[in-house]
Amino acid sequence: MSKEDELSQIVKDFLVESNEGITTIIQSLTVLEKDPNNEDLVNEIYRAMHTIKGSSCFFQYSKLEKITHILENLLGAIRDDGEKLTSNKVDILLEGTDLIQSYLSTIESTSKEPEGDVESAIKQMETLSEKFGFTLSSDLVLSEKLSKTDLSMEEVVNSDTAPVVEFEKEVVLPEVNLAVEKAVEPEVKEAVSVDLVEPEVLIDLDEGKVTDNITKKKNAGSKVLDSVVRVNVSLLDKIMNVAGELVLNRNQILQFATENDDQDLIRLASQLDIITTELQSDIMTTRMQPVGMVLNKFERLVRDIAKQNNKKVELRIYGKETELDKTLLEAIKDPMTHIIRNSVDHGIELPEDRVKAGKKELGLLEVKAYHESGQVVIEIKDNGKGLSLDKIKAKALSSGVCSSEELSNMTNKQLQKLIFHPGLSTAEKVTSISGRGVGMDVVKNNVEKIGGHVDIDSVAGVGTTLTLKIPLTLAIIPALIVKGQEEFFAIPQNSILELVRIDDSSKQSIEYACDSEFLRLRSELIPIIRLNDLLQLGQENETLEEVQEDNFACKNIVIVNTEGRVYGIHVDDILDTQEIVVKSIGFHNKKESVFAGATIMGDGSVALILDILGVAQASQLQSGTNKEDVDLNDSKNALTDTQSFLLFNLERHSESIYAIPLVLVNRLEEFDSTQVEMIGSQKVVHYRGGIMPLIFTDEQINMKEKELRKNKVYNVFVVNLHKKLYGFVVENILDILELETNVDSSVVDQNNILGSFFHNKRAVTVLDIYSMIDSQEFTKQNQKDIVSEKRKESILVVEDSPMFRKMGVELLKDNGFTVIEAIDGQDGLLKLKENSAIDVVVSDIEMPNMNGFDMACEIKNTEATKHIPMIAVTTKFSDKDIQRGKDSGFKYYLEKFKKEDIISAINSVLQKAG
Amino acid sequence: MSAAENIDVSADTLQVCEFKIGQDFFGISVLNIQEIIKPQKITKVPLSDNYVKGLINLRGQIVTGLSLRTLFGLEEKSTEENMNVIVRHEDQLISFMVDKICDVQDLEKQDFQQTPDTISRKIAQYVSGVYKLEDRLLIILDINRLMNNNNDQQN
């Protein structure tokens, strides 16, 4: 193992390749001997030798290089100067090849060439040729030696004394025979370019022995060689296809097994399932290649373009080892090249402009590749001048892409995305590299062709980030199977946002405007396409009245997103998700771009795969709902804080829904009534080696106290507060809800309620866990004990949401800090002015009036406050945000109410300050 | 395939698979045919041309089924009893759906004749010639023309 570790991948590749080359050479040589006039073979040998020489030179294996060079010269003479290939030449070549092989195995085991200087290698070759009775033409060897710049004069002189020169053509027969015998000895390794003797002389060379020799070498063979096999990609493709069929077959067997109640069959089927899955993933890995294969090429590209444009650019590549399917890797090469060119060509400014803008002269181009939720993400980020929105606008206007009215309604993000529009290039000057107006749209098309996604984010003056999201593989994808009339269709999972079911009881319904259908979903209007209508399934198209009539039946709607266009597909039925194997469908079907291909279902029938983009185009959803800004996959980037709530109700059949912030909840538990015990008047349970008080939530909000019922299972959520666990008893836990709504606290009529919000047109009451706990008798006792270790530091908590503010304040108070509250950035700055003694600032990012970033910048840039360490506590977690947070001066960037993290961050900044 | 393409009707003998569509007998060189299978479950492709009858699962491969009947402008018939003549063309698997499979015929060169002008143009465009058999005419279909023509229609 250690040996392999020492060898870098690239050296291993070199070894594999060179050994392959040697195999080729040996094979071809033996054939060539029988057919000496075969020029193709000579060429082949020459090429193989040349490759080995080239790579030895690259790896600075100078001795190896020398040997191969000499052999190459010998071959060159045969190839170009029409010298005859005699069997003794073949011998020299074979011996020389053996010599190379022995060098290679030394390199493999020690990662170094064998001991000795370059001279010794040449000597070896010379001796070798002597043994065969050849004269290396002296000038050849000499020029060899001279050409090697690192050879000293002395060595050159030595070469004159070398025996080579003395050899002449008229070597006599007996000597030659002698030479042959010696040559077979393994340690005889030397050769050089040659002049032939009598061609027939050596015909009786003992070929067997030579071969023997080679075989031994091979057996001595090496780990690297044994562990690597080069396989033709087309074979891999074939294996992949067969594996795909196996997957299909497995699906069929699984389905069959579940239909038949045969235990053995089910067991075997599930085994087959496991094995197939494993096989499938292994086969996938064979096609995986590190993105470094593509990224590394950009070093040169960046250097060249930068030089051409007199720019200074540093390229940093991260995540080279991230792996991607080979075909996809090929597919992103061109788009990536284009993006990188663009970034260097007109992203990064000229050095003098950069200095003027207060940046470092050296521009930075970062390329990051990483895995994220089953996709490979490649980020190309420059710190250049960013996109100029004004220029984009002007260009869009002049090229008639948008009207000025449309432009004025666009968000910055939408404006930036215009660069993906055909015919827009903001480069003022058309260079050979970019600015011809074909570019980003092609990039986008290419990436989307392989199921990927491109996004751009640019801040004027700060830089531009392009993000490519690429699926890991194309061949097998998860998909949702839906039904339209009697036909099955597959919708690729990666374009599905959510599934919505509408029936009588739900408040949502499909609305109509000008014969089009819409679904109102969380205040978004989403156009609905009926699958049956689109594909003209079934009999006649239903009239609108009929459509409205069956409004009462339940409806299944698949909400999909393509290119930021969100729409719903109304299907008859939603079945399940499956790993499907994508098969292309013949050209007869190509114009039906609503289909991306076909797959074979568990029952052996064929199902068509819907092309979500094609469906949108076919339905002329040109404008659709442009939802570019609120990318649901990217909810962390949403403009407001998202908060998760645990929903529950308190009484059986109660209409009221209650909620608490999910961050407060430690665990959900169920306790049987027999487990509940009384300590005084307090109900408790034994929980995790301690006693946990149970708080009956409904009693807390002025509902009647209830008798402890027998034989009842209590649903309890456990809250960890003040370093103690509390169990809150509720009737039913309903759901977890993530939403961006702010809790409205204006209609609170009692202590234990924090506020309310509307969800699905129903009011949800948010309970105030803190006050409920505080109001407990036993807590008061408790708190006195805990807050004993008072600390002198005071902390400013800046947070707009009253609930989170309260949580933050409580948390810090628990830990003995003095806490000052502020409701937004401006208030935070004000409070800082008022209280000179603040030691740490803990702030939210998304706030009205002034956000966290701006406030932090302000604090950092003010003399009186710049020493105060700041910690961001937020739900915004994209890399971009984190970077921005760091840039703004936040020491830590933490997730909202990861309590331990926050406290340890505070402690750490305080220690540093102290 | 290249071997198959080289065999043209001018070779001395030609082996064709004979099948029936409507009242007429047609043949395709056996070298072009991968296999012949019985009627299969077929998945319709919505919005496609009418002669594209749908997709067939042939041992995990997707085969596009084309009805020659429809292509030749003959009266539509239920596709359920159609036999499938599976042809591989440039990595595509195509099934020509025909009414009935007859036999493999060895055809002699001297019986060959250019396509008579009287054959309807709809069919004639796919025909490379006819063989006069004792009791009937056997119309030889040209795979490449069938394929290329479909391509044209597509464009």
- Chain centroid to CA B98: how far? 8
- What CATH code is carried by the domain that includes residue B6? 2.40.50.180
Question: Is A610:A595 a contact under the CB 8 Å cutoff?
Answer: yes
Interchain pair B43, A606: CB under 8 A: yes
Q: Are residues A389 and A333 in the same domain?
A: yes
Chain B, 99 to 128: residues with Cβ < 8 Å from chain A are none
Q: What is the pLDDT of residue A226?
A: 60
Assigned domain for A866 exists: yes
pLDDT for the residue A433: 44
How confident is the model at residue A707, as a pLDDT?
A: 58
The pLDDT of residue A548 is 47
- Do A744 and A842 belong to one domain? no
Q: What is the pLDDT of residue A199?
A: 36
In this structure, the answer to whether residues A457 and A530 fall within a common structural domain is: no
Q: How many domains does chain A have?
A: 6
Confirm whether A450 is domain-assigned.
Answer: yes
| Chain B (29-68) residues lying within 8 Å, Cβ to Cβ, of chain A | 41-49, 52, 54-57, 59-62, 64, 66
Across the A/B interface, how many CB contacts are shorter than 8 Å?
A: 74
- pLDDT above 70: percentage of residues in chain B: 86
Q: What Å distances lie between residue A346 and A103, A482, A874, B21, CA to CA?
A: 49, 47, 34, 65
Say which CATH number the domain at A523 has.
Answer: 2.40.50.180
Q: Last residue of a domain, which of A418, A451, A471?
A: A471
A875 shares a domain with A809: yes
Does a structural domain hold residue A452? Answer: yes
CB A301 within 8 A of CB A341: yes
* Contact between chains at A588 and B49 (C-beta distance less than 8 A): yes
- Is residue A449 domain-shared with residue A523, that is, in the same domain? no
Q: Which residues contact A114 (CB under 8 A, 6 or more apart)?
A: A63, A102, A103, A106
| Domain presence at residue A97 | yes
Which residue in the set A487, A583, A589 is minimally distant from B48, CB to CB? A589
Residues A515 and A592 in one domain: yes
Compare CB distances from B92 to A586, A595, A605 and report the shortest one's residue. A586
How many domains is chain B partitioned into structurally? 1
Q: Residue A594: its chain B contacts at CB < 8 A? A: 46-47
Structure confidence by residue, pLDDT tens digits, B128-150: 888 888 888 888 888 888 876 55
pLDDT for A253 equals 85
Same structural domain for residues A565 and A706? no
* Per-residue pLDDT, A101: 83
In a domain, A670, yes or no: yes
DSSP codes, A656-701: -EEEEEGGGEEEEEEEEGGG-EEETTEEEEEETTEEEEEEEHHHHT
Check whether residue A56 and residue A184 sit in a common domain: yes
Contact B52 A589 (CB under 8 A): yes
The reported pLDDT for the residue numbered A862 is 80
pLDDT digits (tens, 9 = 90+) for A201-229: 333 334 444 444 444 444 444 455 566 77
Please report, for the domain that includes residue A887, its CATH number: 3.40.50.2300
**Which residues, given as ranges, of chain A have pLDDT below 50?**
1-5, 137-222, 427-438, 540-549, 551-552, 622-640, 784-788
Together in a domain, A133 and A27: yes
Distance of CA A361 to the CA centre of its chain: 31
What is the tens place of the pLDDT at every residue in B32-65? 898 898 888 888 888 777 788 888 888 777 888 8
Contact B60 A244 (CB under 8 A): yes
Residue owning tokens 């020493």: A867
The pLDDT assigned to A134 comes to 57
Contacts of A248 in chain B (CB under 8 A): 60
Is A166 domain-assigned?
yes
Same domain, yes or no: A701 and A751? yes
CATH number at residue A295: 3.30.565.10
Q: Which of A535, A583, A592 sits opposite B62 (nearest CB)?
A: A583
Q: Are A323 and A411 part of one and the same domain?
A: yes
Give the pLDDT confidence score for residue A176 in this predicted structure. Answer: 41
Q: Do A590 and B154 touch (CB under 8 A)?
A: yes
Is residue A782 one of the residues assigned to a domain?
Answer: no
Q: Where are the beta strands (DSSP E) in chain B?
A: 13-21, 24-29, 33-37, 52-58, 61-67, 83-89, 92-98, 100-108, 112-113, 127-132, 137-141
Structure ipTM: 0.79
The whole domain housing B43 covers 2-154
Range of the domain at A245: 233-287
- Which residues in B lie closer than 8 A to residue A589 (C-beta atoms)? 45, 48, 52, 64
The pLDDT-based confidence of B11 (bands split at 50, 70, 90) is low
Instruction: Tell me what pLDDT residue A913 has.
Output: 61
B6 falls in which pLDDT band (50, 70, 90)?
A: very low
